[in-house]
Amino acid sequence: MTIYATEYLGAVDEGEMYAQLFRCSDGNTYVVKAMSNPIGRRAIFNELVSYRLGRLLNLPLSYGRIIVFSKSIFNDPHLLDEKGIQEGPHFGSLFIKNASEYSPDKLYFCKNIHMLPEIIVFDHWITNYDRRLEPQNILVVGKNPYELVLIDHADAFNGPDWTIESLVSWTDSKDIIWGEIYQEFVPFIDNEDPFGLALEKLESITDEEIAAAFGKDIPSEWQVSKEEVKTLLFHLIMRKKRVRKIITHLKSYFPIWNSSSE
């Protein structure tokens, strides 16, 4: 079902993509990132594909969809021109009420902290360097007990400026992704094998399931070629096989895990 934007509700304060709130034809409110965002159309391609890949791991992600803008449906067509939003497909994630920015003190009261290893594994798979340092890329939703929800994957695949050449060069990279946010996860997940189940989950995903994440509905307006999609698919299939080895290089950050291997 095609989802159309119908009404402008306001700006979103956070983020470099100038996201806006819109009510849409399915009755829901979405945080929409437009094709005209400052970091380019590839950023919203990254958002959609990363969302679909994350769903394969059953990660807690805000519901993501292609949102179509049409002046014949939007309640104030002139506003689209004022906001620099052209007709056509953009990316939207479901607006979550009662959500706040991640803070480590709330981890104690989150009911899905068992997914923290999967978040780290996922970010290594899609080469997402953003979340390790950015608390605004994780939302804390609801009331105690809270739930963690992941947002913002524009910087996946080592950033929205990725090319065929950069994907090829990064496929075999053994660089780890680590930062302050992940360090705050350690007390909650450190044990003799903190990533075992998360890695098994990733490795159980089939190549066909990864390919299906691209689907046939990626808008041509987003200007990602078939050859680029093919290269990214190959990159993800190969990265999936390499993540286990990369993750072993995180041992020094986990006292229990590190000591158990001595």
What does the domain layout of the chain look like in residue ranges?
A: 3-94, 99-260
Per the CB < 8 A criterion, the answer to whether 40 and 90 are in contact is no
63: amino acid identity, one letter? Y
- pLDDT per position as a tens digit, 175-204: 999 999 999 999 999 999 999 999 999 999
Residue 262, pLDDT > 60, answer no
- Residue 73 CB neighbour total at 10 angstroms: 14
The answer to whether 130 and 152 are in contact (CB under 8 A) is: yes
- What is the pLDDT at residue 74? 97
> Which residue is it, tokens 């509905």?
217
The pLDDT, as a whole number, for residue 133 is 94
Least Cα distance to 244 among 211, 209, 207, 197 occurs for: 197
pLDDT band at 4 (very low <50, low <70, confident <90, very high): very high
Residue 6 three-state SS? strand
Strands 88-94 and 147-150, bridge-based pairing: unpaired
3-state secondary structure of 102: coil
pTM, entire model = 0.96
Q: Provide the CATH topology of domain 99-260.
A: 1.10.1070
Per residue in 76-118, pLDDT tens? Answer: 999 999 999 999 999 999 999 989 999 999 999 999 999 999 9
Instruction: List, for residues 118-168, the tens digit of each pLDDT value.
Output: 999 999 999 999 999 999 999 999 988 999 999 999 999 999 999 999 999
Cα–Cα distances in angstroms (integers) from residue 123 to residues 33, 75, 120, 208, in the given order: 21, 39, 5, 20
Residue 31: per-residue pLDDT = 98
Task: Give strand pairing partners of 10.
Answer: 21
Q: Tell me how far apart the alpha carbons of residues 121 and 126 are, in angstroms, rounded to a whole number.
A: 9
pLDDT at 153: 97
Question: For residues 136 and 62, what is the distance between their CA atoms, to the nearest angstrom?
Answer: 13
- Provide the β-strand partners of residue 3: 67
